Structure 1
Amino acid sequence: MSPSAYPALSFELYPPRNSEAQESLWTTVQRLEETRPDFVSVTYGAAGSNREAAIGLLRHLLTDTTLKPLAHLTCVGSTRVELVEIVERLLDGGVRGLLALRGDLPEGRTEPSGEIRYADEFVRLIREVESGRTAQLAAGKVSVGVAAYAMRHPESESLEQDVAVLLAKEAAGADFAITQIFFRRSDYAGLLTRARDAGVTIPIIPGLIPFTSPRRLTKLCDLAGIEPDRDLMARLEEAEDDDARRSLGVGATVELGRAVLDEGAPGIHLYTFNQPTAALDVLEALDLARPPEAGSAVTL
């Protein structure tokens, strides 16, 4: 089987808030490592509020595991010098994957502030930093990801504007995109059609959230400025107990995962919320083909 025949697999983690959460996170990391994902993304607080905790988690992944980290970075409200410094710090530490995000606007603001205000500008800045380190990177390349929206961004005028923004990110040097939350096959299929028609060529990886908690889904939808799927929410809320709710939610997520893979998705990105069981249940049911383990025999 050729490498392209293996769907990409990745997970998202966030830095621990306290020592108890840290202990739980290490258990999560161990469980995820067993699945041999292509990368694990590490979230970043608003305006870098938990930057040091995120860097600590990235350091742990690099030094104590076989996992390849993708570091979230936001640019809103930061100076160019600050952004160059954090990118260089991550590259010096061995990070080779960056997710370049604008970040949420501060409360009360309607326009981004700072010298680098948008994600495409941030991608361009990362590439500038990278270009000065060609020898250090052994002529390699930093992998830069960006966000994509299968459902309209709350600040966008239209789905078409969202695609125009994605195209600008690709033109600036983005390698791939990961979608924010969505609920239906048609959401992802529509994004792919609009993106390809507009000239976007980079892989667009669907981000899937295990649909096991109506409370969490409501909160996420509020933050994303989108409407939750009413039928799904009703079924989750009417489930007779937590076990039934969990089974229903995992099943719905698996169904969506299979649907987007059928649409040509290059892989799956699973948001774990540092609670891996539901994500691993989804992964087991999807039964994704994985490449051989390092060191195992491969037929050429």
Structure 2
Amino acid sequence: MKTKILSISLIALLLIGCKKGENTGADYEVAATADSVSVAATQTVEGKQFVKTAEVDMEVKDVYGATISIEKHLISLGGFVTQSRMEAQTMSENTYNISDESSMLIRKFQNHNRMQVRVPTETLGEFLDFINDKKVFLNSRIISAEDVTANIKLSKMEAERQAKTSTNISQLKTGKDKVKLDDENMSQANSQKYSDEILADQLKYSTVDIYIKEPSTSVAKIPIVNTKNIDNDYKYNFFFDVKNAFVEGFYLIQQIFVFLISIWPIVLLGGLVFYFWRRRKTFQTNVEK
């Protein structure tokens, strides 16, 4: 009897353990699904309004392919691109001669792209999930949800105040002061409308800054002309250089001759000084004899 009771107890414990294991697995699956995107991207709170932004820095297998895929999915969600700057960062560059006429330029580079996009706020979570599927490594992801509920309430109160001020101004007597007050009030109203438009746009569309790059270095093989061999072919021409040297020597003689003519007063003065010096020396020699 005791043996039967013990057996039943063991079977019950095993069944309970299996059930707990199934529940734990299900709970983990739900948690993993919920963790695929931050709550900040999808949260809605009654009576609250959020301006949502995100920054994603990750590595992808192919920058160009990932960019095209992201842009297409963005358009399908009703979003748009405000900036996309794709560049190839050169890591090294070497040229190897493979014949007298041709060479091969080996360039190692890394592609990267910096994008800024606007996506409808209600699809921000879906868009971030799509981007996440393109990664091979996620460096960072920052999601912000700024509560602007108070800003919206203040904006409404300001609009009411300006409307009341406009009514009070209209009851004043016509004059310079009335025109000035009306102009200032209208300017404030326009500024408030402008701020409201920006805030409404920020609420409707979330801004996402995306930086993607390739984890490995790519290699480009570019056929080019063997410039070194061409330089050697035209580096030295004996007969041409001899002819030029002869002509340049002739021009040099002409320049020297022209220079001597231009300084004839100095030459003449020097000649006279030399003549009188020699004559005086001769005279002194004769006197001494």
> Whose RCO is larger (CA < 8 A, sep 6+)?
2
TM superposition score normalised by structure 2: 0.19
TM superposition score normalised by structure 1: 0.18
1 or 2, which has the higher helix percentage? Answer: 2
Tell which structure's C-alpha radius of gyration is larger: 2
1 or 2, which has the higher strand percentage? Answer: 2
